[in-house]
Chain A
Amino acid sequence: KNEVEQSPQNLTAQEGEFITINCSYSVGISALHWLQQHPGGGIVSLFMLSSGKKKHGRLIATINIQEKHSSLHITASHPRDSAVYICAVSTRYTGTASKLTFGTGTRLQVTL
Protein backbone atom coordinates (compact mmCIF):
# COMPACT_ATOMS: atom_id res chain seq x y z
CA LYS A 1 0.00 0.00 0.00
CA ASN A 2 1.35 3.42 -0.95
CA GLU A 3 2.00 5.84 1.87
CA VAL A 4 -0.01 8.50 0.01
CA GLU A 5 -3.22 7.57 -1.76
CA GLN A 6 -5.26 9.94 -3.91
CA SER A 7 -8.77 9.61 -5.27
CA PRO A 8 -10.09 9.75 -7.82
CA GLN A 9 -7.31 9.01 -10.30
CA ASN A 10 -9.20 10.74 -13.10
CA LEU A 11 -11.95 13.30 -12.93
CA THR A 12 -13.96 15.01 -15.64
CA ALA A 13 -16.16 17.95 -14.74
CA GLN A 14 -18.17 20.58 -16.52
CA GLU A 15 -17.29 24.22 -16.18
CA GLY A 16 -18.76 25.67 -13.01
CA GLU A 17 -18.87 22.43 -11.05
CA PHE A 18 -17.53 22.07 -7.51
CA ILE A 19 -14.64 19.61 -7.45
CA THR A 20 -13.15 17.61 -4.60
CA ILE A 21 -9.92 15.62 -4.71
CA ASN A 22 -9.02 13.46 -1.74
CA CYS A 23 -5.71 12.43 -0.23
CA SER A 24 -5.07 9.90 2.53
CA TYR A 25 -1.70 9.15 4.07
CA SER A 26 -0.43 6.54 6.47
CA VAL A 27 2.69 8.11 8.00
CA GLY A 28 3.43 10.86 10.46
CA ILE A 29 3.94 14.11 8.64
CA SER A 30 5.20 17.60 9.30
CA ALA A 31 3.19 19.11 6.45
CA LEU A 32 1.00 18.20 3.51
CA HIS A 33 1.41 19.79 0.10
CA TRP A 34 -0.92 20.17 -2.85
CA LEU A 35 0.83 20.64 -6.17
CA GLN A 36 -0.40 21.34 -9.69
CA GLN A 37 1.16 20.05 -12.89
CA HIS A 38 -0.10 21.22 -16.27
CA PRO A 39 0.41 18.98 -19.33
CA GLY A 40 4.03 19.18 -20.42
CA GLY A 41 4.66 21.69 -17.71
CA GLY A 42 6.44 22.04 -14.47
CA ILE A 43 5.15 21.52 -10.96
CA VAL A 44 3.78 24.39 -8.92
CA SER A 45 3.03 24.37 -5.22
CA LEU A 46 -0.56 25.36 -4.44
CA PHE A 47 -0.75 24.84 -0.70
CA MET A 48 1.30 23.67 2.21
CA LEU A 49 -0.60 22.99 5.41
CA SER A 50 -0.25 21.17 8.69
CA SER A 51 -3.66 21.89 10.18
CA GLY A 52 -7.05 23.36 9.42
CA LYS A 53 -7.87 25.01 6.14
CA LYS A 54 -6.32 27.34 3.59
CA LYS A 55 -7.96 29.26 0.77
CA HIS A 56 -6.48 30.86 -2.31
CA GLY A 57 -8.93 32.23 -4.83
CA ARG A 58 -11.20 29.38 -5.91
CA LEU A 59 -9.01 26.74 -4.29
CA ILE A 60 -9.52 25.46 -0.77
CA ALA A 61 -7.38 22.86 1.01
CA THR A 62 -8.31 21.17 4.26
CA ILE A 63 -6.52 18.67 6.44
CA ASN A 64 -7.65 16.41 9.28
CA ILE A 65 -4.54 15.27 11.11
CA GLN A 66 -6.35 12.74 13.29
CA GLU A 67 -7.90 11.03 10.28
CA LYS A 68 -4.75 11.47 8.13
CA HIS A 69 -6.82 12.93 5.33
CA SER A 70 -6.79 16.05 3.21
CA SER A 71 -9.07 17.42 0.52
CA LEU A 72 -8.53 19.92 -2.26
CA HIS A 73 -11.65 21.72 -3.42
CA ILE A 74 -12.08 23.81 -6.55
CA THR A 75 -15.13 26.03 -6.64
CA ALA A 76 -16.65 27.21 -9.92
CA SER A 77 -14.25 25.09 -11.98
CA HIS A 78 -12.90 26.41 -15.26
CA PRO A 79 -11.16 24.71 -18.22
CA ARG A 80 -7.89 26.36 -17.19
CA ASP A 81 -8.04 24.26 -13.99
CA SER A 82 -7.40 21.17 -16.13
CA ALA A 83 -4.18 19.69 -14.80
CA VAL A 84 -2.82 16.92 -12.63
CA TYR A 85 -3.16 17.63 -8.92
CA ILE A 86 -0.62 15.94 -6.70
CA CYS A 87 -0.75 15.40 -2.97
CA ALA A 88 2.58 15.06 -1.16
CA VAL A 89 3.48 14.67 2.49
CA SER A 90 6.59 16.01 4.11
CA THR A 91 8.36 13.69 6.50
CA ARG A 92 11.69 13.90 8.23
CA TYR A 93 14.31 11.92 6.36
CA THR A 94 17.70 12.02 8.06
CA GLY A 95 19.21 14.69 10.21
CA THR A 96 17.60 17.98 9.38
CA ALA A 97 16.52 16.94 5.91
CA SER A 98 12.92 16.37 5.00
CA LYS A 99 11.57 14.47 2.08
CA LEU A 100 8.35 14.55 0.13
CA THR A 101 6.39 11.38 -0.56
CA PHE A 102 4.03 11.85 -3.46
CA GLY A 103 0.69 10.47 -4.46
CA THR A 104 0.24 9.38 -8.06
CA GLY A 105 -1.89 12.40 -8.88
CA THR A 106 -5.45 13.13 -9.95
CA ARG A 107 -5.91 14.07 -13.59
CA LEU A 108 -8.66 16.70 -13.84
CA GLN A 109 -10.28 17.76 -17.06
CA VAL A 110 -12.82 20.56 -17.02
CA THR A 111 -14.95 20.89 -20.13
CA LEU A 112 -17.10 23.74 -21.40
Chain B
Amino acid sequence: NAGVTQTPKFQVLKTGQSMTLQCAQDMNHNSMYWYRQDPGMGLRLIYYSASEGTTDKGEVPNGYNVSRLNKREFSLRLESAAPSQTSVYFCASSEQGGYNEQFFGPGTRLTVL
Protein backbone atom coordinates (compact mmCIF):
# COMPACT_ATOMS: atom_id res chain seq x y z
CA ASN B 1 0.00 0.00 0.00
CA ALA B 2 1.27 3.48 -0.87
CA GLY B 3 -0.75 5.17 1.89
CA VAL B 4 -1.30 8.84 1.04
CA THR B 5 0.40 10.20 -2.07
CA GLN B 6 0.70 13.80 -3.19
CA THR B 7 1.82 15.42 -6.41
CA PRO B 8 3.78 17.46 -7.14
CA LYS B 9 6.49 17.46 -4.44
CA PHE B 10 7.72 20.94 -5.37
CA GLN B 11 6.19 23.77 -7.36
CA VAL B 12 7.10 27.37 -8.10
CA LEU B 13 4.36 29.67 -9.37
CA LYS B 14 4.15 33.29 -10.32
CA THR B 15 1.53 35.50 -8.70
CA GLY B 16 -1.81 35.01 -10.43
CA GLN B 17 -1.08 31.56 -11.84
CA SER B 18 -3.31 28.64 -10.99
CA MET B 19 -2.53 25.07 -10.09
CA THR B 20 -4.04 21.93 -8.59
CA LEU B 21 -2.43 19.82 -5.90
CA GLN B 22 -3.38 16.18 -6.15
CA CYS B 23 -3.86 13.76 -3.27
CA ALA B 24 -4.83 10.10 -3.28
CA GLN B 25 -5.14 7.44 -0.58
CA ASP B 26 -5.46 3.69 -0.88
CA MET B 27 -6.62 2.90 2.67
CA ASN B 28 -10.35 3.16 1.91
CA HIS B 29 -10.65 6.09 4.30
CA ASN B 30 -13.79 8.17 4.37
CA SER B 31 -12.29 11.47 5.54
CA MET B 32 -9.62 13.52 3.81
CA TYR B 33 -7.97 16.81 4.74
CA TRP B 34 -5.79 19.55 3.35
CA TYR B 35 -3.43 21.42 5.69
CA ARG B 36 -0.82 24.09 5.26
CA GLN B 37 2.30 24.37 7.38
CA ASP B 38 4.04 27.71 7.85
CA PRO B 39 7.13 28.50 9.93
CA GLY B 40 6.32 29.22 13.57
CA MET B 41 2.73 28.08 13.19
CA GLY B 42 1.06 24.74 13.65
CA LEU B 43 -0.52 23.00 10.72
CA ARG B 44 -3.78 24.66 9.81
CA LEU B 45 -6.79 23.05 8.19
CA ILE B 46 -7.71 24.49 4.79
CA TYR B 47 -10.55 22.20 3.72
CA TYR B 48 -11.74 18.76 4.62
CA SER B 49 -14.04 16.12 3.22
CA ALA B 50 -15.83 14.02 5.82
CA SER B 51 -16.98 11.55 3.19
CA GLU B 52 -17.20 11.12 -0.55
CA GLY B 53 -19.37 13.85 -2.04
CA THR B 54 -18.97 16.34 0.81
CA THR B 55 -16.48 19.13 1.40
CA ASP B 56 -16.32 21.82 4.05
CA LYS B 57 -14.18 24.81 4.89
CA GLY B 58 -11.53 24.63 7.54
CA GLU B 59 -9.75 27.44 9.35
CA VAL B 60 -8.02 29.08 6.36
CA PRO B 61 -10.05 28.39 3.18
CA ASN B 62 -9.71 31.76 1.42
CA GLY B 63 -8.01 31.49 -1.96
CA TYR B 64 -8.53 27.73 -2.25
CA ASN B 65 -11.07 25.33 -3.67
CA VAL B 66 -11.28 21.57 -3.34
CA SER B 67 -12.80 18.62 -5.14
CA ARG B 68 -13.48 15.19 -3.69
CA LEU B 69 -13.30 13.38 -7.00
CA ASN B 70 -14.08 9.96 -5.53
CA LYS B 71 -13.36 8.14 -2.30
CA ARG B 72 -9.63 7.94 -3.09
CA GLU B 73 -8.86 11.41 -4.41
CA PHE B 74 -9.07 14.91 -2.92
CA SER B 75 -7.57 17.81 -4.86
CA LEU B 76 -6.76 21.37 -3.78
CA ARG B 77 -6.88 24.18 -6.31
CA LEU B 78 -5.32 27.61 -6.16
CA GLU B 79 -7.17 29.73 -8.72
CA SER B 80 -4.94 32.80 -8.54
CA ALA B 81 -1.85 32.17 -6.47
CA ALA B 82 -0.57 34.83 -4.09
CA PRO B 83 2.78 35.06 -2.24
CA SER B 84 0.87 34.51 1.03
CA GLN B 85 0.12 30.99 -0.22
CA THR B 86 3.79 30.07 -0.16
CA SER B 87 3.76 27.12 2.22
CA VAL B 88 4.10 23.39 2.59
CA TYR B 89 0.82 21.62 1.91
CA PHE B 90 -0.08 18.29 3.46
CA CYS B 91 -2.93 16.01 2.59
CA ALA B 92 -4.17 13.53 5.18
CA SER B 93 -6.83 10.87 5.49
CA SER B 94 -8.57 9.00 8.28
CA GLU B 95 -11.55 6.88 9.09
CA GLN B 96 -14.55 8.97 10.03
CA GLY B 97 -15.12 10.01 13.60
CA GLY B 98 -13.30 11.83 16.34
CA TYR B 99 -10.97 9.09 17.48
CA ASN B 100 -9.01 8.08 14.45
CA GLU B 101 -5.41 8.39 13.46
CA GLN B 102 -4.70 10.65 10.51
CA PHE B 103 -2.24 9.50 7.88
CA PHE B 104 -0.26 12.20 6.12
CA GLY B 105 1.14 12.48 2.64
CA PRO B 106 4.75 13.58 2.03
CA GLY B 107 3.83 17.21 1.42
CA THR B 108 4.06 19.69 -1.45
CA ARG B 109 6.42 22.63 -1.09
CA LEU B 110 4.89 25.57 -2.97
CA THR B 111 6.58 28.88 -3.61
CA VAL B 112 4.65 31.78 -5.12
CA LEU B 113 6.82 34.57 -6.47
Contacts and interface: CB of A to CB of B under 8 A. Distances in A.
A27 interface: no
A41 interface: yes
A94 B56 contact: yes
A31 B42 contact: no
A50 B97 CA distance: 14
Interface residues of B, number: 27
A42 B91 CA distance: 10
Given A4-B42, A96-B50, A104-B41, A91 B106 contact: no
Given A4-B42, A94-B56, A97-B56, A30 B98 contact: yes
B99 A31 contact: yes
Interface string B81-113: 000000000100010111111111111000000
Contacts of B40: 104
B61 interface: no
Contact of B42 (A48, A92, A96, A101): A101
Secondary structure dominating the interface of B: loop
B60 to A, nearest CB: 12
Interface in A72-106: 86, 88, 90-105
B12 interface: no
A99 to B, nearest CB: 6
B13 interface: no
A105 B38 CA distance: 12
Interface of A: 2, 4, 30-31, 33, 35, 41-45, 48, 50, 86, 88, 90-105
15 contacts: A30-B99, A33-B102, A35-B104, A41-B106, A42-B90, A42-B104, A50-B99, A86-B42, A97-B31, A97-B56, A98-B97, A100-B45, A100-B102, A102-B44, A104-B42
